[in-house]
């Protein structure tokens, strides 16, 4: 095992099949979504001093939604957004494009952590997804938005019972349209010899082009008067009279209030850094499938799919009939470092390719056009946490743990509520008022994540049975998601 990284690849123990090697030959090592001829040109960096009512730090979904909603709430508010590189270049341009209603990383996690609020959290989550769909239409954002839902797939017998239980829980809560699919019904939707059952959330997930969503939100922000600066990393946050000052390489922004939307990158409020463990996730994209290949697997409903192991895969069709296939490995680098050289991991790409053809043997011969990775802002409860600093002049929302495409809009509203000092249906939630457990310092963090990943692997290989380590982590509420 390497000394600076912690990963898991059960498929990597065997030599990859020749089909996996061949399929990866010629793949471009860059995110498919960002490799788009419609990508907007760069915006200028901040030079000199700016003043505003609200400064948003971060040009991903969290920051863009915050800036947009701030202007919707008060069109006269002066809003500035600074981004260290380019809009949507990090997690917002690298994810799978699953825009989920869930704010709690699924019903099971929500029931374990906030059982008394679960029905309300589900209601707010569905309303948030509706609001995203409405904004996409209102601002004319062309991001291939399709509310086709998602199917959680069982690939092991014990997972079938877990999906039945999830369907029962959803029915009791009256949550959305969730349908249990037995083996035949599942394979009638998408055909794979590995599929044993499914749970179809028909309205709770939309598929979209993630980079186009970010670019469209930035355009909408600019049209409402938000001043956006790219290639402007925020380096230091400090009080400045009745407001705040944020230093950048070539200037400074003085703002009455600041919203921090920095995802997996080190937060400007140092005391919240222990709550985040940056974890690297990777994905492959195929070349466009032919109609005959689509017919071979029957994927006509265009739903997103995810298997239900601890180390899971997520996969979906794009607008041009490619298959995105991602997940499984989760790589933590010692010290929580976030660096460009960590974006790619050929061993993970080989494992993912091998698993793809195991799932879809009828697609033998398909090649992958793109392979990429990126950092996820993982926290120990798997869903976002919120707070304020500097006497309420600074707010933050972090820790989306891979489910931020939809939940970041909710987080933006929470940050704006906190900055306004308002008690709302959002800020009253225990989920919003509480924090996850912080990860321990190094080297305990690195060792603990490694042991947890090993234990999760064992659980996947032993009918889902969780060993004493995982049970202890469950009891104290300290988790690690793959």
C-alpha–C-alpha distance, residues 347 and 324, integer Å: 18
- Estimate the share of the chain in helix, then strand, then coil, as percent rounded to the nearest 5: 35, 25, 40
Name the residue with tokens 């090649």.
367
Residue 394: what are its φ and ψ, rounded to 5°? -125, 135
Our CA dihedral for 400, 120, 271, 245, rounded to 10 degrees, sits at 90
The closest of 37, 98, 30 to 369, measured between CA atoms, is: 30
Query: Which two three-digit tokens encode residue 266?
Result: 């080190």
Query: Which two three-digit tokens encode residue 165?
Result: 């239980």
For 130, residues 6+ apart whose C-beta sits below 8 A from its C-beta are: none
221 φ/ψ sector (left φ>0, alpha ψ -120 to 50, else beta): alpha
The closest of 284, 415, 305, 412 to 20, measured between CA atoms, is: 284
The kind and range of the H/E element at 377 are strand 368-378
Cα 302 to chain centroid, rounded:
20
Query: Which two three-digit tokens encode residue 394?
Result: 């600074």
C-alpha–C-alpha distance, residues 118 and 110, integer Å: 6
Our CA dihedral for 356, 96, 233, 334, rounded to 10 degrees, sits at -40
C-alpha–C-alpha distance, residues 261 and 274, integer Å: 16
**Any bridge partners for residue 326, and if so which?**
283, 314
The answer to whether 83 and 230 are in contact (CB under 8 A) is: yes
The closest of 199, 215, 295, 207 to 42, measured between CA atoms, is: 215
Q: What angle do CA 168, 303, 332 make, to 5 degrees?
A: 85
Between the alpha carbon of residue 179 and those of residues 171, 204, 313, the distances in Å are 9, 12, 21
Query: Which two three-digit tokens encode residue 467?
Result: 């060993």
C-alpha–C-alpha distance, residues 251 and 237, integer Å: 13
C-alpha–C-alpha distance, residues 26 and 142, integer Å: 29
The burial of 128, by beta-carbon neighbours within 10 Å (0-12 exposed, 13-18 middle, 19 or more buried), is given as: buried
C-alpha–C-alpha distance, residues 415 and 103, integer Å: 15
The closest of 108, 96, 158, 164 to 465, measured between CA atoms, is: 158
Q: What is the pLDDT of residue 11?
A: 42
**In whole angstroms, how large is the CA radius of gyration of the chain?**
22
Residue 126: what are its φ and ψ, rounded to 5°? -65, -40
Name the residue with tokens 């809560």.
173
Query: Which two three-digit tokens encode residue 381?
Result: 């409860």
Query: Which two three-digit tokens encode residue 432?
Result: 């919003």
The closest of 250, 310, 315, 309 to 283, measured between CA atoms, is: 315
How many other CB atoms are found less than 10 A from the CB of residue 323? 25
Task: Tell me 146's DSSP state.
Answer: B
The closest of 327, 330, 481 to 401, measured between CA atoms, is: 481
Please give the model's pTM, rounded to 2 decimal places: 0.94
Q: What is the pLDDT of residue 8?
A: 46
Residue 75: what are its φ and ψ, rounded to 5°? -60, -20
Residue 106: what are its φ and ψ, rounded to 5°? 100, 160
Q: What is the pLDDT of residue 460?
A: 81
For the chain, what is the total number of helices (H) and then of strands (E)?
13, 20
Q: What is the pLDDT of residue 348?
A: 95
SS3 173: helix
Query: What is the mean pLDDT of each successive set of 10 residues along the chain, which is 482 residues long?
Result: 43 58 94 95 97 98 98 98 98 97 93 94 96 98 97 96 92 83 98 98 96 98 98 97 97 98 96 96 98 96 94 96 95 92 94 96 96 96 97 98 96 98 97 96 90 82 81 72 54
The kind and range of the H/E element at 387 are strand 385-389
């Amino acid at each position: 095992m390497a000394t600076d990284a912690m990963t898991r690849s059960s498929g990597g123990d065997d030599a990859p099949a020749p089909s996996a090697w061949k399929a990866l030959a010629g793949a471009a090592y860059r995110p498919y979504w960002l490799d788009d001829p419609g990508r907007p040109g760069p915006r200028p960096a901040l030079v000199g001093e700016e003043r505003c009512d609200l400064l948003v730090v971060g040009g991903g979904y969290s920051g863009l939604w915050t800036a947009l909603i701030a202007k919707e709430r008060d069109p006269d508010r002066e809003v500035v957004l600074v981004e260290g590189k380019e809009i949507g270049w990090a997690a917002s341009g690298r994810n799978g494009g699953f825009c989920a209603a869930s704010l709690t990383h699924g019903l099971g996690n929500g029931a374990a952590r906030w059982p008394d609020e679960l029905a309300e959290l589900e209601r707010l989550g569905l309303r948030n997804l509706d609001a995203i769909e409405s904004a996409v239409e209102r601002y004319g954002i062309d991001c291939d938005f399709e509310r086709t839902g998602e199917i959680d797939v069982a690939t092991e017998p014990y997972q079938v019972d877990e999906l039945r239980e999830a369907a029962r829980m959803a029915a009791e809560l009256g949550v959305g349209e969730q349908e249990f699919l037995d083996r035949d019904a599942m394979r009638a939707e998408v055909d794979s010899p590995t599929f044993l059952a499914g749970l179809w959330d028909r309205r709770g997930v939309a598929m979209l082009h993630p980079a186009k969503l970010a670019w469209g939100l930035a355009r909408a922000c600019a049209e409402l008067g938000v001043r956006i600066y790219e290639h402007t990393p925020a380096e230091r946050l400090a009080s400045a009279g009745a407001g705040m000052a944020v230093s950048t390489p070539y200037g400074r922004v003085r703002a009455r209030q600041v919203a921090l939307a920095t995802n997996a990158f080190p937060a400007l409020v140092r005391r919240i850094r222990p709550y985040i463990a940056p974890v690297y996730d990777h994905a492959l994209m195929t070349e466009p499938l032919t109609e005959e290949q689509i017919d071979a697997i029957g994927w006509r409903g265009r739903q997103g799919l995810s298997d239900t192991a601890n180390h899971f895969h997520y996969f979906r069709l794009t607008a041009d009939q490619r298959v995105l296939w991602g997940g499984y490995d989760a790589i933590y680098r010692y010290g929580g470092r976030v660096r460009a050289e960590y974006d790619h991991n050929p061993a993970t790409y080989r494992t993912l390719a091998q698993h793809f053809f195991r799932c879809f043997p009828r697609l033998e011969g398909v090649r992958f056009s793109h392979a990429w990775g990126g950092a996820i802002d993982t926290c120990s409860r798997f869903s976002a946490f919120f707070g304020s600093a500097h006497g309420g002049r600074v707010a933050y929302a972090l820790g989306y743990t891979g489910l931020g495409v939809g939940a970041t809009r909710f987080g933006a509203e929470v940050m704006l509520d906190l900055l306004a000092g308002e008690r709302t249906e959002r800020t009253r939630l225990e989920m919003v008022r509480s924090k996850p457990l912080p990860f321990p310092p190094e080297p305990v963090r690195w060792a603990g994540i490694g042991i947890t990943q090993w234990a999760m692997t064992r659980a996947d290989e032993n009918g889902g049975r969780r060993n004493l380590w995982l049970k202890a982590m469950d009891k104290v509420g300290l988790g690690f998601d793959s």
